[in-house]
Structure 1
Amino acid sequence: MNATLRFLGAADTVTGSRYLIDTGAARVLVDCGLFQGYKVLRERNRAPFPVPPESIDAVVLSHAHLDHTGYLPALVRDGFAGRVYATSGTADLSEIMLRDSAHLLEEEARHAAHGHWSRHTDPRPLYTVADVERALDRLRPVGFDEEIDLGDRLSATLVPAGHILGASSVRIAVGGRITHFTGDLGRDDDPLMRPPRRFAGAAVLVTESTYGNRRHAPIDPEAPLGEIIRRVSARGGVTLIPAFAVGRTESILLHLSRLRDRGELPDVPIYLNSPMAVDVSAVYQRHAEEHRMPPDELARMYAIATPVHEVDDSKLLNLRGGPMVIISASGMLTGGRILHHLVAYGPDPRNAVVLTGFQAGGTRGAALVAGERSLRIFGEDVPIRAEVVNIDTMSAHADADGVIAWMRRGPAAPEQVYVTHGEPAAADALRVRIERELGWPARVPEHGELVGL
């Protein structure tokens, strides 16, 4: 069987995960993500899909984050009619996240039209809520370790990857030969999620490299998080915490809950201004077997923040002033309610913006980490005089040491390792370590490259 693998995304960037396996008789897409960050990458979302969507027989998702699922509504709209396989947790989270994504895309298009800050005379969203509903009809939840028959001697199995609820690595068997896609690999020491399953070996390994050139500092993030909130609250300021609604928000709430239990958090209101994050709480409670939290701590974790559902209540937060803490999506400041809070509170030096995870190149979050203090938001340049703090120890990704340790525990060397889903410097740094420390053949593929399996 002359099967091929084509890298349709995440080959020169940390977003847009899309891998196409083609046996000649069947086509399977592993992940169907959005490109994020630099404009040249985002424009790939608007380009025609590299193969006719109707020619793809199935999609297998590793987890629910939008850089792995967010293009699915467009793929279905443009002709894909097969099944989309994912774990039950990923299916539940994808339902929430894709609806929220479409809502934000539609809202952004309306704002652009109303404010005349788009170069298009009639700005349109990448996809709509109606497109999402059609895509959700294609979802088929499966269990971990359940063999998925994809036809033509092709099958898939999902195994636990840690990272976020429902996250899996994808093992594709092509005529008996295994290609293993790590998806986003979690941490052994994650406070919320269980560790990824040990690598069982494969002929071909496709690994993420988000933190391929970095090590997580051995620092408990609760200490700096509590210190920042105490400092900002003492001067009457607002602490803004941009956070991904799935995974990162739960970690932040857990740390805040533990800080308050120890009396290390000031008595200031905490608001969770993310309807999606509020909805996600029910999913985490339904899938308790996947994470480390006992029911009582999970309940305390979610009780620490006041949920904000309505748009009018979100707007009122911008008039309230400090001291207070606002947790809101998105984690890289690419959209969502956090942008309105940044416009309101970013120019005031009494306030603070606390970044708590990876910031992809080209995002507003990456600009702040790099020292930029003016951000383009809703067509205007907004000065950021608020204190900017980056706590990079809260990532749900394994760092470079963690990925190497996970590989080292495998039974044998793969015939080939492809290093993807990382910025160029991170991907190449991990490639070098794989070759030198493990002695495994490794390379960083190019966007659109076709290789044999």
Structure 2
Amino acid sequence: MKVKFIGGAGTVTGSKTLIESNGIRILIDCGLFQGIKPLRELNWEPLPILPATIDFVLLTHGHLDHCGWLPRLVNQGFEGKIYCTSPTKDITKLILLDSAKIQEEEAKKANEGKYSKHEIAEPLYTVEQAEKVFPFFRVIKTNEPVPLDAQIEAIYTNAGHILGACSIALTLENKTLVFSGDIGRDNDVLMYPPTKPKKADYVFLESTYGDRLHPHTDTKLELETYINNTVEKGGTIIIPSFAVERAQTIMYLLWQLREEDRIPNILYIIDTPMGINALNIFSNNKKWHKLSLEECAEMSKMFSLVSDYQETIEVIFDEQPKVVIAASGMVTGGRVLGYLEHYIGLPETTVIIVGYQAEGTRGRKLLEGAKEIKIHGRYYQVKANILEIQGLSAHGDQKDLLNWLSELENKPTRVFLVHGENQPMDELRIKIHEKYGFDCKIPLMGQEFEL
């Protein structure tokens, strides 16, 4: 049995882990690379193996960095089955269609504005190619064995990260391989705590926040303060957000603040068609989160839901103070770019960063104090107030990740740390060794191991 790391190694994006056993090939996640250009360019490269030779894709969840390369996989010959939970299937459809649409739009803008380095800019994949992925989905139930082959089975358990997110225990050749996927927090606002594994011969553990502890701050108070201070100056608050789970968490907290009369009665806008559709997924999957149907309905009433791009233009040029939640979460594309083009140069504007920002993304650059950012081929001066709320992350911190390993009844042969940048991974490696004595390995991109 062999494992090959063809994504999500040394980076938090592009998650792809290949398992080979007795002629069967299983790909755990099939994510898109994001961030710095050398990583993004990997999206255009073929896999080191032919997609037609992959039998199964097991999706941990529906975020772009875990599912966003599926259209390329199918387009290049994959004909196997894609297993996932029901919410993950619905979310992945939304994510892929949105991703394809954004890529088509950006290629069109690049060609019209003549700012592409290529003679003709092309999208990584089209909406039509994204739609060709959908027939390959197979929905599974959590906590029930899924037979992939006579000698191979998978069990999905709740990972707490977003709706439908799971860790996967893969049993083959008398060994159990546990893939964490993205691990949620033990005390998340909306999601239930992740289920901890009991048995594992090999663990593949994400390490996004391997070097960080989330602050014990009052997230609602931070939101309240930032919004009130900005409105007093007559400014607009822009919150770049992942459309699934993060947008709904922010909506919930803003709704609570408004109910408590702690923030003003101004315009509160959700400008992400995918985030609006995700609200329906929340309502249809009650067992996956803590909100009641009544709370889902009530908090939605507070917000103006913008889906048509013409409405976006109208909102952008409406000068009155407002709070806008718009995708994407790392400011790599989507509707939020239109708002930033108009508002990033105004000192009364506040941009609130609420999630992990991968290396090389606009969100990371803003957090690091960039004086200008490039959007659609043009540079914009950054005069807005850039603030961060760390308490809204959907990823477990170092303590959560260590805790996730705490119920293992046996000592794993090895723990592989994936889906993290180098420093967080190395700090988590040291902590795991100190606390549990487990052998920890940080694989490099493209590296292969025999298990």
Task: Please classify the TM superposition score into its range, dividing by the shorter chain length.
Answer: over 0.9
Q: Aligned-pair distance for 1:152?
A: 5.3
Q: Partner letter of residue 116 of structure 2? A: S
Secondary structure at the aligned position of 2:7 is classed as coil
Question: In structure 2, what is the Cα distance between the partners aligned to 1:322 and 1:361?
Answer: 34
Question: What is residue 133 of structure 1 aligned with on the other side?
Answer: 131
Match of 2:185 among 184, 187, 190: 187
What aligned pairs does 1:393-408 form with structure 2 within 5 A after superposition?
A: 393-408=391-406
Q: Aligned-pair distance for 1:436?
A: 1.1
* TM-score relative to the length of structure 1: 0.98
Match of 1:272 among 257, 270, 273: 270
Match of 1:251 among 239, 246, 249: 249
What aligned pairs does 1:337-352 form with structure 2 within 5 A after superposition?
A: 337-352=335-350
What's the Cα RMSD here? 0.9
Q: Partner letter of residue 33 of structure 1? A: G
Secondary structure at the aligned position of 2:132 is classed as helix
Match of 1:38 among 36, 54, 60: 36
Contact 1:25 1:152 in 2 (8 A): no
Contact 1:26 1:152 in 2 (8 A): no
1:286 is the counterpart of 2:284: yes
Q: Aligned-pair distance for 1:303?
A: 2.0
What aligned pairs does 1:206-225 form with structure 2 within 5 A after superposition?
A: 206-225=204-223
Question: In structure 2, what is the Cα distance between the partners aligned to 1:152 and 1:117?
Answer: 53
Q: Aligned-pair distance for 1:200?
A: 1.6
Question: What is residue 438 of structure 2 aligned with on the other side?
Answer: 440
Question: In structure 2, what is the Cα distance between the partners aligned to 1:222 and 1:385?
Answer: 25
Q: Partner letter of residue 202 of structure 1? A: A
Q: Partner letter of residue 375 of structure 1? A: I
Question: In structure 2, what is the Cα distance between the partners aligned to 1:152 and 1:66?
Answer: 31
Question: What is residue 450 of structure 2 aligned with on the other side?
Answer: 452
Question: What is residue 386 of structure 1 aligned with on the other side?
Answer: 384
Match of 2:236 among 235, 238, 249: 238
Q: Partner letter of residue 175 of structure 1? A: E
1:162 is the counterpart of 2:160: yes
Q: Partner letter of residue 281 of structure 2? A: V
Secondary structure at the aligned position of 1:46 is classed as coil
Q: Partner letter of residue 215 of structure 2? A: A
Q: Deviations over 1:148-191 (max 9, x none)?
A: 22225122111110010000001111123110000000111001
Question: In structure 2, what is the Cα distance between the partners aligned to 1:146 and 1:89?
Answer: 16
Question: In structure 2, what is the Cα distance between the partners aligned to 1:338 and 1:135?
Answer: 27
List alignment gaps of at least 5 residues for structure 2: none
Contact 1:14 1:423 in 2 (8 A): yes
* TM-score relative to the length of structure 2: 0.99
Q: Partner letter of residue 108 of structure 1? A: E
Question: What is residue 362 of structure 1 aligned with on the other side?
Answer: 360
Question: In structure 2, what is the Cα distance between the partners aligned to 1:244 and 1:138?
Answer: 25
Q: Deviations over 1:325-365 (max 9, x none)?
A: 11000011000010010000110001110000111010000
Question: What is residue 178 of structure 1 aligned with on the other side?
Answer: 176
Question: What is residue 308 of structure 1 aligned with on the other side?
Answer: 306
Question: In structure 2, what is the Cα distance between the partners aligned to 1:413 and 1:234?
Answer: 56
Match of 1:96 among 94, 97, 110: 94
Question: What is residue 299 of structure 1 aligned with on the other side?
Answer: 297
Question: In structure 1, what is the Cα distance between the partners aligned to 2:412 and 2:440?
Answer: 9
Q: Partner letter of residue 384 of structure 2? A: A
List alignment gaps of at least 5 residues for structure 1: none
Secondary structure at the aligned position of 1:282 is classed as helix
Q: Deviations over 1:385-406 (max 9, x none)?
A: 0100011111011100111112
Q: Partner letter of residue 348 of structure 1? A: L
Secondary structure at the aligned position of 2:188 is classed as coil
Q: Which runs of 4 or more aligned residues in structure 1 lie more than 4 Å from their structure 2 counterparts after TM superposition? A: none
Q: Aligned-pair distance for 1:410?
A: 2.0
Aligned length: 451
Question: In structure 2, what is the Cα distance between the partners aligned to 1:201 and 1:261?
Answer: 45
